[in-house]
Amino acid sequence: MRERRAGLSGRPLPQDCYFHFLRPTSGERERERHICGAGSGPLSERPFLRRLFASSSQVQREPRKMAGGRDYADDQMQRWKDQRGSQKADALTTGAGIPVGDKLNVLTVGPRGPLLVQDVVFTDEMAHFDRERIPERVVHAKGAGAFGYFEVTHDITKYCKAKVFEHIGKKTLIAIRFSTVAGEAGSADTVRDPRGFAMKFYTEEGNWDLVGNNTPIFFIRDAMLFPSFIHSQKRNPQTHLKDPDMVWDFWSLRPESLHQVSFLFSDRGIPDGHRHMNGYGSHTFKLVNAGGKAVYCKFHVKTDQGIKNLSVEEAGRLASEDPDYALRDLYNAIAHGNYPSWTFYIQVMTFEQAERFPFNPFDLTKIWPHKDYPLIPVGKIVLNKNPINYFAEVEQLAFDPSNMPPGVEPSPDKMLQGRLFSYPDTHRHRLGPNYLQIPVNCPCRVRVANYQRDGFMCISDNQGGAPNYYPNSFTGPEEQPNLKETRANISGDVQRFNSANEDNVSQVRDFYTKVLTEEERARLCKNIAGHLKDAQLFIQKKAVKNFTDVHPDYGARIQAHLDKHNAKGPKKGYVHTYTQTSDQTGKERANL
């Protein structure tokens, strides 16, 4: 019989989830081929799900014995060997499982002769090596991940019917990936950049992906601007260098970025690792209760370790000496049994309150004031498991904001609406159309039954002989009318509305004058000027005007720092040209 393993909620896993087992066909012996994990044994032998479904008490802390002066991450290879004890080394094979007799020498005609095509050991190795790299994430490329659980501590069923919140004490398995935004996969962890804070809840109603950042706001409020915004933060298309002109030109032309820019250049712009920062869903969502009543919501995840940030000087030192500082810190903390945790909160706004709200409640560049919409505690997140393999469980980990269980729905937030398409689309490009069959992305608490078939790298039984069209008369999967989205009444003119001038300064002014201390304001202005100084003078002027619109003191301090910087070097009054002119010589074009 197939093994049935209870999850943290006590509910057994479905026996016939096609991501878990290939269904036996008539006349065949039952096969226990588990897709959510390598190998062909029962569930208890699957590396990924065995760890994921283990209770916290079953998670073994790694031994503390290490070589002198080395940390847990440094000694990973030695600990892997030690954990095997007296176990013999596995027999070396090709990818097809064929034993390999010699892994050090190619097959040639004589000691100096040519390589033979029949050397399949070499071709198997090289062909796979040539294909090891997959497309890098276009944003959030550098990251760290871990696994754990979410536990409900407060009842919010009056707001939300999602089973993840159904009773106090309920635990749900979770995966979290932390990341920087603009840097490449090998970039430093301690740069000034927003941090991604993406959470995947493995619920019995499917995976819920809450894809947030360490900031409650963002640079833009219209999804149309997202590609251009990211291009401005990435590398110059000709020089392939980071370009302050591009960065500050975009920010200065889009003053809605002022709030996030101010947060970014404050002390919180460089968190001290991933454990000491908060997470935010940032967007406005909709919660629906069992009675069909809906409210708007924002999600907050507050660190229990306390907020800690790095100084500019310390961040620079670490970027040189230990560019993987945050990844290492998270891995070692969990390995030591020092499990990081966060407290999960929501803010709630009724539809009636939204109608009376002084600004657009779906504007991603603004917060909801806590004095008017206080934080409501919900639960606790604990990370207690490191990935066994980074590529399998972190690099292939894919988050999709459109993955929402019944009871959680999107709001009219324009940025959220854009992400609902963009995220799954990029996963299909990066990981393939069947990326949800990858173990770490598999909705392994529920049986997936639909009419999607085939595609590149389908590794399930492809739902066997079940009908692949709907409607049908042969007991194919049926609709669940009781789980339809809530009804919404919407009216208005269809057009492209310009939201550029929707009060871009009021909340930034409050942040500058009421949230920051005098010392923090001084560091903020110094940090901004230290980056803005490398942009051209006309861009500096536009940016300073925007900061002055927030508060005269804000702009004046930045300008004072810029004056000192500009006095030290040549004026940046020139204009970069990125296009070729018709009268360029062949030599000039060759040097472009």
pLDDT at 572: 53
| Residue 419: CB atoms within 10 Å | 20
Beta carbons within 10 angstroms of residue 447's beta carbon: 15
Q: How far apart are CA 274 and CA 276, in angstroms?
A: 6
Q: Name the 3-class secondary structure at 350.
A: coil
- Told to judge if 213 belongs to the known catalytic residues of this protein, a careful annotator would answer yes
Place of tokens 């089973």: 163
- CA 526, distance to chain mean position in Å, is 30
In CATH terms, 98-132 corresponds, of 3.80.10.10, 2.60.40.10, 4.10.91.20, 1.20.120.1200, to 4.10.91.20
Determine the pLDDT at residue 10. 39
One fold for both 98-132 and 143-218+267-446? no
- The Cβ of residue 429 has, within 10 Å, a number of other Cβ atoms equal to 13
pLDDT tens digits, one per residue of 393-443:
999 999 999 999 999 999 999 999 999 999 999 999 999 999 999 999 999
Contact of 367 with 418, CB cutoff 8 Å: no
Catalytic residue among 207, 213, 214, 546: 213
Interval 105-129: pLDDT, tens: 999 999 998 999 999 999 999 999 9
The burial class, CB within 10 Å (0-12 / 13-18 / 19+), for 365 is: buried
Cα gap 548→555, rounded to integer Å: 4
Amino acid letter, 577? T
Cα separation, 381 vs 273, in Å, equals: 17
CA 491-292-160 angle, 5° bins: 110
- Do the beta carbons of residue 160 and residue 289 sit within 8 Å? yes
Q: How many residues appear in the chain?
A: 592
Tokens of 380: 């606790």
CA distance 133 to 590: 31
CB-count exposure of residue 326 (10 Å: 0-12, 13-18, 19+): buried
Which residues neighbour 69 within 8 Å (Cβ) at sequence distance 6 or greater?
none
Specify the pTM.
0.86
140: phi > 0 → left, psi -120 to 50 → alpha, else beta; which?
left
| Residue bearing tokens 């660190």 | 303
Task: Give the domain 143-218+267-446 fold.
Answer: Catalase HpII,  Chain A, domain 1 (2.40.180)
Active-site option among 20, 34, 140, 300: 140
Weakly modelled stretches of the chain, pLDDT under 50:
1-46, 55-60, 63, 575, 577, 580-582, 585, 587-592
Token pair recorded at residue 323: 């560019």
Cis preceding-peptide flag for 412 (omega within 30 of 0): no
* DSSP letter assigned to residue 388: S
CB atoms within 10 A of CB 2: 16
Q: Where exactly are the structural domains of the chain?
A: 98-132, 143-218+267-446
**Counting Cβ atoms within 10 Å, is residue 81 exposed (0-12), middle (13-18) or buried (19+)?**
exposed
Residue partners of 66: CB distance under 8 A and separation at least 6: 72, 74, 75, 78
What pLDDT is attached to residue 51? 63
Alpha-carbon gap, residue 224 to 418, rounded angstroms: 8
